[in-house]
Amino acid sequence: MDKPINVCVLVGSLRKASFNGMLANALIWLAPSSLKFDVVEVGQLPFYNEDLETAAPPAPWTAFRQRVKAADAVLFVTPEYNRSVPAVLKNALDVGSRPYGSSVWDRKPGAVVSGSPGAIGAFGANHHLRQSLVFLNVPTMQQPEAYLGHADKLFDEHGKLVSDGTRKFLQEFMQAFANWVETSRAQGQGI
C-alpha cells in the first residue's frame, strides 16, 4: 500500500463560524482515504517582519514552517476580502516563503477552493491567490476550479453540507486533487 499523502490545509478565515472553515471540513470529509489532513491555523502568526528573521525567529513562525514543510501538498480554502485574499492568509504565504531561499512552498502541489455568500464565490481571491502561488513555485491544480457562491446556504446549523450537488462536486474535486498530487509525485515536481 502506498504511503498516505499528507496535506496541509490553510483556511483564510478566522471567524469561528466561518463558511470556509465549514467548507474545509467538508472537503476533508469527502476526500479519498489516500489523503491525510493537517489543518494549520494561520491567525496566530505574527505579521512578517524581516527584522524578526534572526537566529531565533518567532516560535509561531518556526512551528508553522515545520508543519507546512512536513506536508506533501497544500490545500487553500479562502474567502474574499476586497477582491483579494484575507491578510492572515497572505501573511502565512509570506512567513512560509522566508528566509529567502528556504521557502516551504517550493514545488509543493496545491489547490485552491474559495467560498463566499456572494454569487461569484470569491473568484477574485481565488485568482489573486493563484498569482502568488505561481511566484512561490506551487504547482497548482488548474481543473476543476472551485468557486462556491452562496456559501451561507450550503451548510446547516451544525456546519454540515446540505447540498447534494455541491457534495458531489466537492468529492470529485478532492479526487482530482489526489490525482494531481500523485501526478506531481510521479513527475518529481513535489513531495
Sequence-ordered strand ranges (E) for the chain:
5-11, 35-39, 73-78, 110-115, 147-148
The reply to whether omega before 99 is within 30° of 0 (cis) is yes
140 closest CA partner among 176, 111, 170, 174: 111
- The arithmetic mean of pLDDT across residues 91-118, rounded, is 96
In this structure, what C-alpha cell is assigned to residue 24? 474545509
The predicted model gives 111-135 an average pLDDT of: 94
Query: pLDDT for 4-58, tens place per residue?
Result: 999 999 999 999 989 999 999 999 999 999 999 999 999 999 999 999 999 999 9
Reduced to 3 states (helix: H, G, I; strand: E, B; else coil), residue 6 is strand
Considering the four listed CATH numbers 3.40.640.10, 3.40.190.10, 3.40.50.360, 3.40.50.11930, the one that applies to the domain covering 5-186 is 3.40.50.360
pLDDT 10s digits, 144-183: 999 999 999 999 999 999 999 999 999 999 999 999 999 9
State the pLDDT at residue 2.
72
Contacts of 58 (CB under 8 A, 6+ apart): 45, 46, 52
Q: For residues 116 and 95, what is the distance between their CA atoms, to the nearest angstrom?
A: 26
